[in-house]
């Protein structure tokens, strides 16, 4: 049976001085999926990426990347992976095309194959028009696209993306999301760290939340959201009396909250049948809401519930 695992880490630990950065980290990433790592600054995300991409040795634990043992086959692993860091590693004195050629040479790819791959990637990333311009003239979004294109020159099986959309404007960020999704469709495994919760929600097949060097939760986006609350139908009425009357129509266990004033929240699974049941109950009692809004727990709520305040301060040599 063919192994479907692209990355597997068991008991990974790492310290800098007296500070423990990673504490017994266990991860498993399926081939051809997007695996997102969320966490506040100082959580250990970048250290995890550096270890799994062979740049930093762990103090303890073991891992297999693209089928090879991390401790003994790091050279082979490097031939199967690529890494794009938080800041675009582009030589600003070279053109976009020259940057691509340079990486091809560093990866010991033949000139013929490098030229072919460069043209394919420039077209894929919509960079052909500007390919022969000095990269210092590129916008931030273009530099990030070029950086990612450079990391694909050797057709890697696994790509590590460490906060790839940091500093991009919303339009460029959405464009990068599209590129990342397309890579997954091509069968590439993507290990993504991010602080943008919407990014993980939109892209990831599976999400792990790291806080203070430890894995505090793992699952799909929906799995994690279900941990912090139920879906609800928020109903607003014209008067306090009408609100109280409407609330009395439902089982107390279905009332998730009675907001201040004229709003109540009723538990729902989000189905049409359940919504119809609620509305039929209100209609039969002539209790017509003035407004109705569906609410589902967001990844933001999950993040803050699991990691605490968003302004939690960390004293760490690890930036992420």
156/274 same-domain check: no
C-alpha dist (Å) from residue 29 to 6, 21, 45, 241: 6, 21, 15, 53
Asked if the structure places residue 317 within a domain, the reply is no
Residue-wise pLDDT tens digits, 199-255: 888 899 999 999 889 999 899 988 887 776 677 888 899 888 888 888 899 888 888
Domain limits for position 100: 5-226
pLDDT band per the 50, 70, 90 thresholds, residue 320: low
SS (H, E, C) the chain: CCCCEEEEEEEEEEEECCEEEEEEEEEEEECCCEEEEECCCCCCHHHHHHHHCCCCCCCEEEEEECCEECCCCHHHHHCCEEEECCCCCCCCCCEHHHHHHHHHHHCCCCHHHHHHHHHHHHHHCCCCCCCCCEHHHCCHHHHHHHHHHHHCCCCCCEEEEECCCCCCCHHHHHHHHHHHHHHHHCCCEEEEEECCHHHHHHHCCEEEEEECCEEEEEECHHHHHHCCCCCEEEEECCCHHHHHHHHCCCCHHHEEEECCCCEEEEECCCCHHHHHHHHHHHHHCCCCCCEEEEECCCHHHHHHHHHCCCCCCCCCCCCC
pLDDT of res. 318: 46
177/72 same-domain check: yes
| Tokens representing residue 282 in the block | 């209100």
212/238 same-domain check: no
pLDDT of res. 88: 65
pLDDT band per the 50, 70, 90 thresholds, residue 29: very high
Asked if the structure places residue 315 within a domain, the reply is no
pTM for the model stands at 0.76
171/272 same-domain check: no
272/185 same-domain check: no
Mean pLDDT of the chain: 86
pLDDT of res. 87: 66
pLDDT of res. 203: 93
Asked if the structure places residue 55 within a domain, the reply is yes
Give residue for tokens 């991409």: 53
Domain boundary among 226, 246, 267: 226
Residue-wise pLDDT tens digits, 70-105: 999 999 999 999 988 766 678 889 999 999 999 999
Q: In the chain, how many domains are there?
A: 2
Asked if the structure places residue 273 within a domain, the reply is yes
Percent of the chain with pLDDT over 70: 91
Contact residues for 1 (Cβ-Cβ < 8 A; gap 6+): none
Q: How many whole angstroms separate alpha carbon 225 and alpha carbon 30?
A: 21
Task: Report the CATH number that the domain containing residue 71 is assigned in CATH.
Answer: 3.40.50.300
180/206 same-domain check: yes
> Residue 315: is its pLDDT beyond 50?
no
Nearest Cα residue to 158 out of 32, 8, 45, 28: 32
pLDDT of res. 224: 84
Asked if the structure places residue 261 within a domain, the reply is yes
Residue-wise pLDDT tens digits, 254-286: 887 665 678 888 888 777 888 889 989 998 998
96/149 same-domain check: yes
174/261 same-domain check: no
> Residue 299: is its pLDDT beyond 80?
no
Asked if the structure places residue 73 within a domain, the reply is yes
């Amino acid at each position: 049976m063919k192994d479907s695992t692209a990355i597997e880490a068991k008991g990974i630990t790492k310290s800098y001085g007296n500070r423990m950065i990673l504490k017994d980290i266990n991860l498993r990433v399926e081939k051809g999926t997007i695996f997102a790592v969320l966490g506040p600054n100082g959580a250990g995300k970048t250290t995890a990426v550096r270890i799994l991409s062979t740049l930093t040795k762990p103090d303890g634990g073991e891992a297999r990347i693209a089928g090879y043992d991390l401790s003994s086959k790091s050279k082979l692993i490097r031939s199967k992976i690529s890494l794009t860091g938080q800041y675009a590693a582009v030589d600003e004195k070279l053109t976009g095309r020259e940057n691509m050629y340079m990486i091809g040479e560093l990866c010991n790819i033949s000139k013929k194959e490098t030229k072919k791959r460069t043209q394919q990637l420039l077209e894929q990333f919509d960079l052909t028009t500007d390919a022969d311009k000095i990269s210092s003239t590129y916008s931030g979004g273009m530099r990030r696209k070029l950086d990612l294109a450079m990391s694909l020159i050797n057709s890697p099986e696994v790509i590590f993306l460490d906060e790839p959309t940091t500093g991009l404007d919303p339009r460029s960020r959405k464009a990068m999301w599209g590129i990342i999704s397309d890579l997954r469709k091509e069968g590439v495994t993507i290990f993504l760290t991010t602080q943008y919760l919407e990014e993980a929600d939109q892209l990831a097949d599976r999400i792990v939340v790291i806080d203070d060097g430890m894995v505090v939760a793992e699952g799909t986006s929906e799995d994690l959201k279900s941990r912090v609350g139920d879906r609800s139908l928020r109903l607003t009425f014209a008067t306090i009396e009408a609100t109280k009357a409407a609330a009395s129509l439902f089982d107390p266990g279905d009332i998730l909250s009675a907001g201040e004033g004229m709003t109540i929240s009723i538990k729902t699974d989000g189905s049409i049948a359940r919504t119809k049941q609620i509305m039929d109950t209100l209609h039969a009692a002539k209790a017509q809401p003035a407004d109705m809004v569906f609410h589902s727990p967001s990844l933001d709520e999950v993040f803050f519930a699991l990691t605490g305040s968003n302004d939690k301060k960390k004293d760490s040599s690890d930036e992420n």
